[in-house]
Structure 1
Amino acid sequence: MRDTTDRKNLFLLVQLRWLAVAGQIVTILIVHLQMGIRLPLVPMTAVVLFLVALNVASLLHIRRNASVSNTQLFLELLIDVWALTVQLYLSGGASNPFISLYLLQVALGAVLLEAWSAWALVLVATACFTGLTGTFRPLPLPHAHEGELFSLHIQGMFICFVLAASLLVPFLTQINRNQRARDAYLAELRQRSMEEAHIVRMGLLASGAAHELGTPLATLSVILNDWRRMPVLADDPDLSEELAEMQSQIDRCKTIVSGILLSSGEARGEGTVRTTVKDFLDELVEDWLSSRSPRRFDYQNNIDADVRMVSDLALKQVLFNVLDNALEASPAWIGIAVLRQGDSLVVAVNDSGPGFDESVLAELGKPYRSTKNRPGSGLGLFLVVNVLRKLGGTVSARNRAAGGATVTLTLPLAALSPGESDGD
C-alpha cells in the first residue's frame, strides 16, 4: 500500500513538472520576445528538455509498476530544485521574482518525504538561495525598462505568488487524499488482523472442546449399548425407542466433533471428497433438513453449467450458520435460491422474520453485533463474513420490502475448485 501511495505521489510530481515545463516555456518566450530582455536560450532550453526527459523516465517507471521509495521521491525533488536553481542563475539570481518557487518544492517535500529527507531538502534549497545572492548571470535590461525595474519585480512576484498558490492547493489536496486512503487501508488491515486472531482463538477453543468431548461421548455410547442389551430395558418398547433416539443423538454429536477436528486438520478420515457445486449444495440442504424442521422450506438450485469442486466443511458450516440464523428468526418459512452469475456462485437465503436492525446492517460481520440478548450472539455472521472473505467472496444483507431479510453470499467459483475447469 505504501508503494501504491508513493507511485500516485510520483505521478502527481510528474504532472506538476509538466506544468513547470509549460510555465518556463511561456515565461521565457514572454520575457525574451515580448519584453525584449535577452536570455541565454540554449542553456535554459537544455534544462527544459532535461525535465521533459526526466518526466518520460518517471512515467515509464510508474507504468512498470515498480516500487517507489522515499529516496526516489527525494531525488526527484532534488532534481527539481537543481533545475530551478539553474534557471534562476541564468536569469538574475536571487533578484529574480520567481525565487520564492523554492517554497513550493519545500512544501511538497514536507508532505511527501520522511522527516530526514524533508529537512535535507530544506538545507539544499536554502544553500541554493544563498548561493544565488552572490553568484548569478546578470540580467541585461533594455533602456526602456530601466526605470520600471521595481514595478517589473512586483509584477513578477505577484505572478509567482498566484502560480505557487494555484499549484499548491490542488496538488497538496490530492496528496493528502492519497495519504488518507493509505491510512484507511492500513486501519482496515489492522482490523482484519484482529478479527483473524479472534477466529484463531475461537478455533483453538473449538478444537480443544472437541478433544474433551470425545471421551465422554464414547463413554455414553458404550453405556447405552450395554443398556440396550439389558433384558429389562430391551423388553420395554418405549424405553427401547428412547434409547435408540439417545444413541442417534450421541452419534450425531460424535459426527459434529469429528467434523470440527477434520476442519482443524487434526483428523484424517475419508480423504478429499470431490463433487460438483450443484450436488454439494443439494446434499448440504438435505443434511440441514435432516436435523431441522422449518414449517415451510423453498429451495431453488438454478445452476445450469455445473462446476467440479472439492467438498469444503468450512463452507458447509458457513451455510449452516446462515440457515440456522434464518430458521431462528423465521420458523414459519425459509427460502434459499442458488444461481451462477458469470464466474461467481450466488446463494440467497430469505426469511419472513422481523429483519435486521439498521445498526446490525451498518456493522455487518462485526463480532457480537446482534439483537439477540444472550452471551456469544453475533458470532455466526462474523464467521460467515470472514470465511467468505478468505475465499475471495462477499456477504451482504438487506431487509425485504415484503418483510423478513435476505442474506446473499457471493463466492468466486475458482476459490471452490482451483485449477479445475467447468464440467457437467
Structure 2
Amino acid sequence: MPTPAPPTKMPAATAESAAVAGELHPPRAGVASLDNAIGHQNMQQLIQLRWFAVVGQVATILVVHYGFEIRLPLDHMLQVLACLALFNMVSLLRSRSHRRVTNGELFVALLVDVATLTAQLYLSGGATNPFVFLFLLQVTLGAVLLKAWSTWTMVVITSICFAGLALFSRPLALPLDHDRGLWSPYIQGMLVCFALNAALLVIFITRISRNLRARDARLADLRQRASEEEHIVRMGLLASGAAHELGTPLATLAVILGDWRRLPHFSSDPELLTEVAEMELQIQRCKSIVSGILLSAGEARGESSEETTVSTFLDDLVEEWRTTRPVEDFEYDNHFGRDLPMVSDSALKQMICNVLDNALEASPHWLRLEAAHDADALTITVTDAGPGFLPAILKEFGKPYQSSKGRAGGGLGLFLVVNVARTVGGRVAAANRPEGGAVVKITLPLAAIVLEEEETEVDDDADDEEALAAAGRTIGMEGNERNRS
C-alpha cells in the first residue's frame, strides 16, 4: 500500500522567532542566507525521501497483489507512481538553482504528496485501506514545515480527501477476520501503517531538533557578533574622540618644551636640558600613540600607509616593541620564508602589540614570538612563562571584560585582538602549556593582508601613494564587508 511522502527538516519559522524585544538582532543578510541554506536542505531532504516513498510504494503494491493475492489495479497505481517520480525529477532540477525555497513551494510539494496518497488509496480500497491514517503524517509535516494558514489548509484538504474516499471509493475484498489478530491481513496492514508513521515521525522530529539546535547556535553566534561589533564601534568612537581632544594639549606641550630648550636657563644647565629632551621624546611618543588610535579608527589611514613586506613589518614591529618595553629575555623567530608585499597597518600592529603586552605583564622575565608561513596564512605564536590562563578565561576567550587582573574595564585587550583578527578572516586561539605559561596563536589569511603584485606596479608616484592608501583602507574594511555579506 502507499507510503507517505517524506518530511523535510526545518519549520517555516524564520528570523521572527529569533529576536525578541530588547535583544540585539543578528545581521539580516546572515539570517537570510541561513534561511536560504536551510530551505535548500529541506528541498534536498524531501527529494531524497520521496524516492524512498516511490520504492516503498512499489514494494507494498507488489507484496499485496502477489503475496496476499489481493487484486489491485496495477496499471493505474503504477501510473500514479510514475507521475510522482516525474514531479520528483522536476523538484531535483529546481533544487539545483539558488533561488530561495518559499513556504508556497513546500505547500505545493506536500499537496502533491497528499494527492498521490489519495489517488493510491482510491485505487486500493479507499477509507477501508489501513494506510489511510498516513493522512495524519501529512498534517504533521504541514504543522512543522508550513505557516499557520498553510497548515490549516492542509487539515481541511486532507479531511475532504478522507471524506471523499469514504463516499466514492470501492472497498477492498478483505475478509472480516479481525479476531485472528496479527494473522488478519487488515491488522497486519494497520501494524505496518503504525510502524511506518512512528518511524518517519521519529526520524523527522530528530532531524528537526538537530537542525533547530544548529540554527539557534548560528543565530546566537550572529547575535554575539553584532553585540561585539557594536561594542567595538562605541569604543572606537570614544578612543577617536579622546585622541582628538588630546591632540591640542600635546601640541601645546611640544611647543612649550621647544621654547624651554632655547631659554638660557635651560640651555646652560645640561641636566635640565636632558630632562627637557626626555620630556620631548615622551610627548612625541604620546603623539604617535594618538595618531595610531586615529589610524585604527579609520581616520587618515591612507596618509601614513607605506608599502613594506611581511617579514619587514614583523621585524620593525618587534624592534619597536622591544625598545619601548622593559622585557628582560625576548626571543624572536621569523620563519616566514618567502617574503610578500603588504601595507603596514596600524590595526594589525596594535593587535600583535596587545598580545605581547599581555604576555609581558604575565611573564616579565621571558617571552617568545614566532612567525611562520602556514599554507595560505601567516601564523604568529606568542609564548610566555607566566601562570597561564584561568579555565574560566579560556572558556570565554575573546569576550569583553574577561580578565583576571581585577581592574575595572579590564579584559578588552584580547577582545580587540580577536575582533581585529576576525575582520580580516583570521582567528585567535589560546591554550596553557603543560610546563607552565600560556600560548596565544594568531592566524591571518595572506589574501587579506598581502598586496597583489599588480596593485604595486604603478607608473606614477601619485598613483602609487593612492594605491597604498587604498590598500591600507582595504585591510581595515575587508572584514566588515565580509560580515555584511
Do both share a fold (TM > 0.5)? yes
Count residues in correspondence: 419
- The residue type paired with residue 50 of structure 1 is C
Measured against aligned partners, the alpha-carbon deviations of 1:131-161 in whole angstroms (never above 9, x if no partner) come to 211122443x2xxx53547833222111100
Q: Structure 1 residues 43, 391: CA separation in 2 closer, same or farther (over 3 Å shift)?
A: same
The corresponding residue for 2:160 is: 127
Q: Among residues 115, 118, 130, which one is paired with 1:97 in the alignment? A: 130
Match of 1:10 in 2: 43
Asked whether 1:244 is paired with 2:277, we answer: yes
Cα deviations by residue, 1:321-368 (Å, 9 ceiling, x for unpaired)? 001101111110110000011101110000011100000000100000
Q: Kindly report which structure 2 residues correspond to 1:211-290, keeping only aligned pairs within 5 A, or say none.
A: 211-267=244-300, 270-290=303-323
Distance verdict in 2 for CA 1:121–1:326, change over 3 Å: same
Contact 1:307 1:421 in 2 (8 A): no
Matched with 1:53 is: 86
Q: Deviations over 1:206-251 (max 9, x none)?
A: 0000010011101111111111111112211111111100000001
Distance in 2 between the 1:383 and 1:170 partners? 43
Contact 1:306 1:422 in 2 (8 A): no
Listed as ranges, the matches of 1:136-285 within 5 Å are 136-139=169-172, 141=173, 145-148=174-177, 151-267=184-300, 270-285=303-318
Are the aligned partners of 2:305 and 2:345 in contact in 1 as well (CA < 8 Å)?
no
Q: Please give the alpha-carbon distance, in whole angstroms, between the structure 2 residues aligned to 1:68 and 1:171.
A: 19
User: Is contact 1:108–1:172 with CA below 8 Å preserved after alignment?
Assistant: no
Note the alpha carbon deviations across 1:55-99, whole angstroms, 9 max, x for none: 233333334444222221111111111110111111111111100
Q: CA RMSD in A?
A: 1.9
- 36-45 or 381-390, larger mean C-alpha shift: 36-45
Contact 1:396 / 1:408 at 8 angstroms: preserved in 2?
A: yes
Task: Note the C-alpha offset of 1:421.
Answer: 8.2
2:449 to 395, 407, 416: 416
The TM-score, its normalising length taken from structure 1, stands at: 0.94
- State whether residues 6 and 68 of structure 1, in contact with CA within 8 Å, keep that contact through their aligned partners in structure 2: yes
SS at match of 1:374: coil
Greater displacement, 15-24 / 341-350? 15-24
CA distance in 2, matches of 1:421, 1:118: 58
The within-5 A match list for 1:78-97 is 78-97=111-130
1:20–1:203 Cα change, 3 Å: same
**Deviation for aligned residue 1:168:** 1.2
Deviation at 1:6, TM superposition (A): 2.0
**Structure 1: gaps of 5 or more residues:** none
Q: 2:47 aligns to what SS in structure 1?
A: helix
Percent of aligned positions that are identical:
57
Aligned residues of 1:396 and 1:409 also touching (Cα < 8 A): yes
Q: How does 1:12-27 map to 2 (within 5 A)?
A: 12-27=45-60
Q: Which moved more, 1:364-373 or 1:2-11?
A: 2-11
Query: Match of 2:434?
Result: 401
Select 2:147's aligned residue among 103, 114, 132. Answer: 114
2:396 paired with 1:363: yes
Deviation at 1:36, TM superposition (A): 2.1
Deviates more, 1:28-37 or 1:85-94: 28-37
| 2:175 alignment partner, SS class | helix
SS in structure 2 opposite 1:256? Answer: helix
Distance 1:395 1:147 in 2: 72
Contact 1:308 1:422 in 2 (8 A): no
Given that residues 308 and 344 in structure 2 are in contact (C-alpha distance below 8 angstroms), is that contact kept between their aligned partners in structure 1? yes
Preserved CA contact (<8 Å) 2:310 2:342: yes
Corresponding residue number in structure 2 for 1:311: 344
Question: 2:128·2:171 contact (CA, 8 Å) conserved in 1?
Answer: no
The SS at the match of 1:146 is: coil
**In structure 2, what residue type is equivalent to 1:382?**
F
Distance 2:39 2:129 in 1: 33
Work out whether 1:68 is the aligned partner of 2:68.
no
Distance apart, 1:422 and its partner CA: 13
Give distance in 2, aligned partners of 1:62 and 1:178: 19
Distance 1:209 1:36 in 2: 89
Matched residue SS, 1:406: strand
Q: Bigger shift: 391-400 or 107-116?
A: 107-116
Contact 2:343 2:451 in 1 (8 A): no
The alpha carbon displacement at 1:406 in A equals 0.4
Q: How does 1:355-394 map to 2 (within 5 A)?
A: 355-394=388-427
For the Cα contact (< 8 Å) 1:8–1:178, is it kept in 2?
no
Q: Distance in 2 between matches of 1:274 and 1:120?
A: 65
Q: Is the alpha carbon distance of 1:228 and 1:244 closer, same or farther for their aligned partners in structure 2, counting shifts above 3 Å?
A: same
CA, structure 1 residues 126+147, in 2 after alignment: closer, same or farther (shift >3 Å)? closer
Amino acid at match of 1:80: D
Gap change, CA 1:281 and 1:183, over 3 Å in 2 = same
Tell me the alpha carbon deviations over residues 263-297 of structure 1, each in whole angstroms, 9 at most, x when there is no partner. 32332664531211111111111111121120000
Per the alignment, residue 296 of structure 1 pairs with 329
Q: Hey, what's the Cα distance between the residues in 1 that align with 2:226 and 2:315?
A: 34
Post-superposition CA distance 1:9-30 (Å, at most 9, x none): 2222223212221221111101
Q: What is the alpha-carbon distance in structure 1 between the residues aligned to residue 101 and residue 160 of structure 2?
A: 27
Question: Cα offset for 1:54?
Answer: 2.5
One-letter amino acid of the counterpart of residue 234, structure 1: S
Q: Which is further off, 260-269 or 81-90?
A: 260-269
TM (normalized to structure 2)?
Answer: 0.83
Amino acid at match of 2:151: A
How far 1:420 moved relative to its partner? 4.6
